[in-house]
Structure 1
């Protein structure tokens, strides 16, 4: 497509990406390229041979056309007026078994061959020693299969290094850690399996060092190639994925530097289990089909491994179909999850609840040192049957060590202001809960009794009671133990119905959406209730505290009112 045909769109925007995928085309924006440079890059790339396939076929035959488009876009983009490079970064999301590590190694060798800068550094980085070792094995084997390339490159096996003899510029294969950058700015960095870096706490700091090359005269390119995460996207992976989607959709400003190439289903189809379970739709997101993978083998793997349990299926589809965990939900989810996002009311704050609600109840899901502490308010809007919900969550910082699998996710929530990390739950979090509850009581918005619902069996329940008693709440009258398990069936169903009808609105906090996404239900007879056990490692504390508060609100309480209000409303006292 000519450049002038896309002038109205921001650079790299590709609003018809799904239509392109359905036509069998790469979901990539049309960009101007230097034809001479593109031809040189492709000629070299195509001559490389697969070292681990019978007959060692050249990439001209063995590589999917989709990746050749990436090679051209990444190595040969050029502004037709300024003659400057356009694509400084590229993020490719592609399912597992698409030969991405092998193709990335080939692209790295091609870039090394094309680069004329002397004594530069290039990096090909894997998230683990095994992955980085495989990248190097593939790269060096491709070179050794072609005797002519021995005159061009020198391989140092023990250093996992490939140097171009003419320029002295070196491609090194390394494992991602905080020591991979030693002050030198790479001309090129290829990062395999970016989603794994979302689990590393200092990944953002390292990426800032790598990206420092983007502001130098020579510049520094970065290629990310990855499958979807087998956990909820977090950390740097969450940030880069969101950025790439915004660029693709034309919502990231006029001059981005990252080119997105995302093989995924639209969000509404990721949520449609019937759609992505239909094996006829799988080829749409499998660009390397018939090259490195067959549909028959994939189906067999799904039936024998992916379909053995709901947890196994969730992980399998995240890797092989790029279904994002937390988007593609399952049949054992809480029914209210389908309506949670639509019931969001951004800007809903504690202050607004105190102004608009005629009565408020509170709920606490106590947390220990390796858990989350959740506190929720549910208020009934004056003169209506509509409920508002606001929540706050805390965690002891030690949870980052004890729950490393979700540490990056929790750090993201902390940065967003949805989670408060503390050093002492008793002195900081429970004290704040008592302070908020005292304020609500003083405004006369709590019911006369049964003000605060608590999961009495939860770790930390005694701390909650102690803090509230210290603020002059009566444990017998003001606090109510909320039965968990199957006895939550009624209130969970009530909240789900009110969410659907938009008579339950919440503050739209990301951490609450995460809790809802994590929630799995347990079926006992006709009862279906949220279960921490069924939800596994996924935290659901925010939803549980909300249900505790909702249970009390479902009893149709009336506010106690302030002392003055009680006096004025009592005709006997007014005589």
Structure 2
């Protein structure tokens, strides 16, 4: 297996160097493939210039690495993930790569697939591929290739190999056994609940062909990465950074870490050429600047959406004008050292917040502790959901599976063991002598209140309180956002909580505010509301359930 890592990528992208690793390519194969690619003409540009004149070396390198990596009949670079912003000739270059594969292919009746996320994208890819054939000035491709527009298929008359352009759909992609596949806009395809299974089937279909390849070309997601896109992106980053091995070539045009986390720096146009490899060809930095300035005239969410698509900025939290103000500070206060166990060890008193619990909701739990030495607040969260939510809310099913894999969410069946598991955590806090109170949304929690009573946590003992909801939670909302701003509230960095926080919408009236969802149904906020349920009793400055331990020091 070849080493496909490029751990010095951050230095290289700053200076405009190649992001590809040093590979021992078959130079004869590289020259042949690049020659085919260079001769293809771009059909929707005046004069139909060939790729040899109009394409950037950055993409030619990818073509050379993919087709020049054959060793003893086996392709060593079997996969590519190209993360590149919009307007960098992504779909056109992809169509050119697949036409190169069709022309270069020697396997009789081989099947190649180019998969678009929507009909419009698939139509554009097919139009570009057929346009390259029609623009061949020597007429060689017109004679060799047979175009069937009604089924979006191009057949090589010499080898009978076919290039099929398809719209992503689980039914039409099941059972395929292609030689090469290009998936355009993986981040859009990943929104389908079936995406992970279909990609697994494509990989399985490629296995019998030693020269098989799979290419993903995509921009960054316009929301938090999820499902198949998140999984492939994480894999590519690990290979690129040298933290994992594999046959995927990662070519990721994203800012170095210090720029990506600093809005002032990634909004600086002088840094944009780092992630715009086709600058000066299909896109001009000046044009990007005009579009950026236009996005700033809308709400902050417009800027975030524009940046995700044109600068590959990964969206973490919502930036809408009606967002919870605490969302601005949420990511900064993440502390991965906070676990349930470390929180109980570091804190002198704990309040637990509970929210949700319906079959269409998440059952959110937040353990909020006051640290012994600093009196800062530390928060740890978990949530549960019924398996039926994955069917009723298919748009977030992949996201919920990601949270489950991260250990932040538990999916339960009809036995509904969520209550028992939550009570076990409350019991753990109580047994540690730290429990001050459990704050709950009073609606629909009769079963939970009864289960708490079995471990001696009752309203009569003032260990359970009903937390006012709606406008009655205004003080808790404002307290949490102020403590996030000044750094005296830190949390475990849960992706589930970050998502819930991004879904919060603040509705003001003349005298109060309340927290609700950005979008009804799919935008779950229960884990965030559980935090506010814990903030209410913690704001009353409860005394420790046991006297703090002091160490006598003699001087």
TM-score normalised to the size of structure 2?
A: 0.86
Q: What corresponds to 2:117 in structure 1?
A: 127
Residue 349 in 1 paired to residue 340 in 2? Answer: yes
Residue 446 in 1 paired to residue 435 in 2? Answer: yes
1:334–1:521 contact (8 Å) kept in structure 2: no
Q: What corresponds to 1:334 in structure 2?
A: 327
- In structure 2, the CA distance between the partners of 1:422 and 1:85, relative to structure 1 (3 Å rule), is closer
Q: Summarize the alignment of residues 155-234 of structure 1 with structure 2, pairs less than 5 Å apart.
A: 155-213=147-205, 215-216=207-208, 218-234=210-226
1:185–1:220 contact (8 Å) kept in structure 2: no
Q: Secondary structure of the residue that 1:555 maps to in structure 2?
A: coil
Q: CA deviation at 1:532?
A: 3.8
Q: Secondary structure of the residue that 1:110 maps to in structure 2?
A: helix
Superposed CA offset, 1:349-399 (max 9, x none):
35x656665533211122544432211122346687465533220223343
1:161–1:170 contact (8 Å) kept in structure 2: yes
C-alpha separation between the residues in 1 aligned to 2:60 and 2:374?
61
1:264–1:322 contact (8 Å) kept in structure 2: yes
- In structure 2, the CA distance between the partners of 1:467 and 1:89, relative to structure 1 (3 Å rule), is same
Q: Summarize the alignment of residues 375-390 of structure 1 with structure 2, pairs less than 5 Å apart.
A: 375-380=365-370, 385=375, 388-390=378-380
2:355–2:364 contact (8 Å) kept in structure 1: yes
Residue 544 in 1 paired to residue 529 in 2? Answer: yes
- Out of 252, 261, 267, the residue aligned to residue 277 of structure 1 is 267
- Out of 463, 467, 470, the residue aligned to residue 481 of structure 1 is 467
Superposed CA RMSD in Å reads: 3.4
After the TM superposition, which of the residue ranges 112-121 and 484-493 deviates more from structure 2? 484-493
Q: CA deviation at 1:311?
A: 1.2
C-alpha separation between the residues in 2 aligned to 1:468 and 1:424?
21
C-alpha separation between the residues in 2 aligned to 1:60 and 1:198?
33
C-alpha separation between the residues in 2 aligned to 1:78 and 1:357?
58
Q: CA deviation at 1:37?
A: 1.5
1:124–1:173 contact (8 Å) kept in structure 2: yes
C-alpha separation between the residues in 2 aligned to 1:269 and 1:460?
46
C-alpha separation between the residues in 2 aligned to 1:21 and 1:134?
30
- In structure 2, the CA distance between the partners of 1:281 and 1:460, relative to structure 1 (3 Å rule), is farther
Q: What corresponds to 1:265 in structure 2?
A: 255
C-alpha separation between the residues in 2 aligned to 1:335 and 1:162?
50
Residue 433 in 1 paired to residue 422 in 2? Answer: yes
Superposed CA offset, 1:501-527 (max 9, x none):
xxx665454323444565677899999
Number of corresponding residues: 536
Q: What corresponds to 2:88 in structure 1?
A: 98
Q: What corresponds to 2:398 in structure 1?
A: 408
Q: Summarize the alignment of residues 2-41 of structure 1 with structure 2, pairs less than 5 Å apart.
A: 11-41=3-33
Q: CA deviation at 1:268?
A: 2.8
C-alpha separation between the residues in 2 aligned to 1:328 and 1:452?
29
Q: What corresponds to 1:138 in structure 2?
A: 128
- In structure 2, the CA distance between the partners of 1:219 and 1:526, relative to structure 1 (3 Å rule), is farther
C-alpha separation between the residues in 1 aligned to 2:94 and 2:328?
42
Q: Secondary structure of the residue that 2:198 maps to in structure 1?
A: helix
C-alpha separation between the residues in 2 aligned to 1:521 and 1:137?
46
1:125–1:175 contact (8 Å) kept in structure 2: yes
Q: What corresponds to 2:496 in structure 1?
A: 511
- In structure 2, the CA distance between the partners of 1:151 and 1:198, relative to structure 1 (3 Å rule), is same
Q: What corresponds to 2:479 in structure 1?
A: 490
C-alpha separation between the residues in 2 aligned to 1:125 and 1:262?
20
Q: What corresponds to 1:42 in structure 2?
A: 34
C-alpha separation between the residues in 2 aligned to 1:237 and 1:278?
27
Q: CA deviation at 1:412?
A: 1.1
Q: What corresponds to 1:569 in structure 2?
A: none
Q: CA deviation at 1:333?
A: 4.9
Q: What corresponds to 1:573 in structure 2?
A: none
- In structure 2, the CA distance between the partners of 1:107 and 1:217, relative to structure 1 (3 Å rule), is closer
Residue 553 in 1 paired to residue 538 in 2? Answer: yes
2:476–2:532 contact (8 Å) kept in structure 1: no
- Out of 281, 294, 299, the residue aligned to residue 284 of structure 2 is 294
Structure 2: state its 5+ residue gaps: 548-555
TM-score normalised to the size of structure 1?
A: 0.83
Superposed CA offset, 1:8-28 (max 9, x none):
x98121122233223223322
Q: CA deviation at 1:242?
A: 0.7
Superposed CA offset, 1:166-219 (max 9, x none):
211111111122233453421100110011122111212211221125543534
After the TM superposition, which of the residue ranges 330-339 and 20-29 deviates more from structure 2? 330-339
Q: Secondary structure of the residue that 1:377 maps to in structure 2?
A: strand
- Out of 226, 232, 243, the residue aligned to residue 251 of structure 1 is 243
C-alpha separation between the residues in 1 aligned to 2:189 and 2:457?
46
C-alpha separation between the residues in 2 aligned to 1:335 and 1:193?
29
Superposed CA offset, 1:393-432 (max 9, x none):
022334334544432111211233321223569x543454
C-alpha separation between the residues in 1 aligned to 2:223 and 2:361?
18
C-alpha separation between the residues in 2 aligned to 1:234 and 1:53?
35
Q: Secondary structure of the residue that 1:417 maps to in structure 2?
A: coil
